Amino acid sequence: MDPYKIREDFPILKRKINNNPLIYFDNAATTQKPKQVIDAINEFYRNHNANVHRGVHTLSQEASELYEDAHEEVAKFINADSMEEIVFVRGTTEAINLVAYAWGLWNLKKGDEVLVTLMEHHSNIVPWELLSRINGFKVKYADVNDDGTLNYEAFENAISNKTRIVCLPQVSNVTGVVNDVKKIVKMAHEHDSLVLVDGAQSVPHLPVDVKDLDVDFLAFSGHKMLGPTGIGVLYAKREILESMEPFHGGGEMIKDVTFNTVTRRCSISWNDLPWKFEAGTPHICGGVGLMAAVRYLENIGMENVRLHEKMLTGYALRRMQELEKIKIYGPRDASSKCGIIPFGIAGLSSHDVALFLDHYGVMIRSGLHCAQPLHEKFKLKSSARASFYIYNTREEIDRFVEVLKEIE
C-alpha cells in the first residue's frame, strides 16, 4: 500500500495549522474520512434519501437496499455467517450497553460474575457496574502486568463456573497491546461463559474473523475505521441474538402489535434479525458511509493496513527513544501491539505536551483516554498518546520527533 497515494483521498490532510502541515496522530480517538465516504453520504442525500423498510415507493426501496447492503458488507468484512448477525448501533458504547441490557439484564443474577480486565475502556466497565446494581452480580477485574500486557495466568484463575460473560478489548486503546482473544475464548468457553470482545481498536487495524476467533459478541465503531460518527456494529452469534430480548422498543423492531379487546393489552412479536435490535428510524446514511469505509479498507487489504502500522510503530518507537526525557509506557516492540504509543515527558503534563505539539500542527491525545483503572495501575495521572493509521508516514513521525526535541 502507498500511504502517499492514500493521502490524496483525504481532503482534511491538506489543511495547514499555524502554517504547518497537519499531522493527525489521534486516530485511536477517531479517524479522518476519505472522499469515497464523504461522496457516498452526499450521494445518498442527493439521490436516494427516504426512510427504510416503510415505503413501497422507489426511493424507499433504494434506501432500504443500500442500508441492507451495508449490513452485508460488514458481515463479509468480519466473516460473520450472514447480515442477520450484524446489528447497527451508534458505536461500541451502545453495542456493549445492548449486550448488558438485552442479554445481561435477563440472564445475570446474584452469585454470577462478569469478568472484565483492568485495561478496559470505561464503556466496557460502566454498563456492567450499573447493571450489577440492579441484578446484584459481581464485576471482577483481571489484572494486567506492569508493561500493560494481559496477565493470562491471573485471567485463568479469575474465570470460574460463576463467570457468565468475559469482556475484554482485542486491542488496548491506551497501550495498543493486542490480546490473544482465541486463548481467552477457549478458557471462557470451557467454563460455559460467553465472550464479548471490544473491537473498537482492532477491527479498524487488523484482519478480524469472528468465526476464527469464535467470539460470541464483537463491538466496534464506524468512526474509528474511516466511517461517519453515530454508526457502529454489534456482531453476535445468531442463536444468541435469537434467544435475547430486544434492547429498545418501538417501530421497525416489531412484526405485529395486536390489540386484544378483551384483555385490553397488546401482544407483540419481534421482527426478524437484525431488525429486532434496531428500533426506530436508523442512521441510514451512517450505514451507507460505513459501507464505503469498509469497501475502502477491503480495497487496501487489512493485512496491508496491519503491516503499514507495524512499520510506522516500530519506526516511531525507535525514533522516540532518542529523546532523553521521554518515557514510553507499555511494550516497546511493534509486533505485539497496534499503532498506539502512550508516553510522557518528565516535568510536563500530557496536556502541555499535546498543546505544544498542536502549535506545530501535530495532533495527539492527552488525558486518561477513558481508561482510568489502567492509568491507576501505571500510577499515572494521565498520558500523551500518538496513534497512527493508513495515511500516516515516516516523515510525519520525523517531524513529530523534531517537535518533541524542541520541548526537551
Ligand X SMILES: Cc1ncc(COP(=O)(O)O)c(C=O)c1O
Q: List the grid coordinates of 285.
A: 446514511
d(CA 180, CA 202): 12
- Neighbouring C-alpha atoms within 13 Å toward the C-beta of 252: 19
Q: Which of 114, 116, 150, 200 binds ligand X (CB under 6 A)?
A: 200
Give me the least distance between CB of 330 and ligand X, in Å please.
Answer: 14
Phi, psi of 311 (to 5 degrees): -60, -45
C-beta closer to ligand X: residue 141 or 356: 141
State the Cα–Cα distance between residues 192 and 213, nearest whole angstrom: 16
The number of beta carbons lying within 10 Å of the beta carbon of residue 32 is 19
Window 68-107: contact mask with ligand X (x via CB under 6 A): -----------------------xxx--------------
* One of 221, 271, 366, 382 touching ligand X (CB under 6 A): 221
Q: Which stretch binds ligand X (CB under 6 A): 56-64, 193-201, 243-251, 288-296?
A: 193-201
Q: Is 47 exposed, middle or buried (0-12, 13-18, 19+ CB in 10 A)?
A: exposed
Nearest to 177 by CA among 320, 354, 391, 28: 28
Amino acid found at 7? R
Taking the complex as a whole, the smallest distance from the CB of residue 231 to ligand X amounts, in Å, to 10
Instruction: Output 329 or 360, the one with its CB closest to ligand X.
Output: 329
Q: What is the spatial distance between Cα 158 and Cα 140, in angstroms, rounded to a whole number?
A: 8
Distance CA 391, CA 377 (A): 33
Residue 123 sits in the site that holds ligand X (CB under 6 A): yes
Positions in 228-257 near ligand X (CB under 6 A): 232
198 binds ligand X (CB under 6 A): yes
Interaction between residue 350 and ligand X (CB under 6 A): no
Distance, in Å, from the CA atom of 335 to the CA atom of 306, rounded to the nearest integer, reads 10
Residue found under cell 450484524: 86
Question: How long is the chain?
Answer: 408
Looking at the Cβ atoms of 97 and 271, the one nearer to ligand X is 97
How far is 186 from 222, CA to CA, in rounded Å?
Answer: 28
Write down the least CB distance from residue 261 to ligand X, Å.
44
Shortest Å, Cβ 346 to ligand X: 27
Helix (H, G, I), strand (E, B) or coil at 24: strand
Which CB atom, from 169 or from 246, has the smaller least distance to ligand X? Answer: 169
**Could you tell me the smallest distance in angstroms from the CB atom of residue 57 to ligand X?**
34
Judged by CB under 6 A, which of 201, 271, 350, 392 binds ligand X?
201
From 31-39, 198-206, 266-274, 333-341, give the range in contact with ligand X by CB under 6 A.
198-206
Q: Which three cell numbers stand for residue 106?
A: 435477563
Task: Report the distance separating Cα 228 and Cα 224, nearest Å.
Answer: 9
Residues 365-404 that bind ligand X (CB under 6 A): 370
CB of 53 to ligand X, least distance (A): 25
Q: Give the catalytic positions in this structure.
A: 370
- In whole angstroms, what separates CA 33 from the centre of its chain? 16
Residue 121 is a binding residue for ligand X (CB under 6 A)? yes
Identify whether the C-beta of residue 387 lies closer than 8 Å to the C-beta of residue 363: no
The answer to whether residue 31 forms part of the interface with ligand X (CB under 6 A) is: no
Among residues 163 and 173, whose Cβ is nearest to ligand X? 173
Interface mask toward ligand X for 162-181; x: CB under 6 A: -------x---x--------
Minimum CB distance to ligand X, residue 100 (Å): 14
* Amino acid at site 220: F
Nearer to ligand X, 198 or 278 (CB): 198
Binding site for ligand X (CB under 6 A): 28, 91-93, 121, 123, 169, 173, 198, 200-201, 221, 232, 370
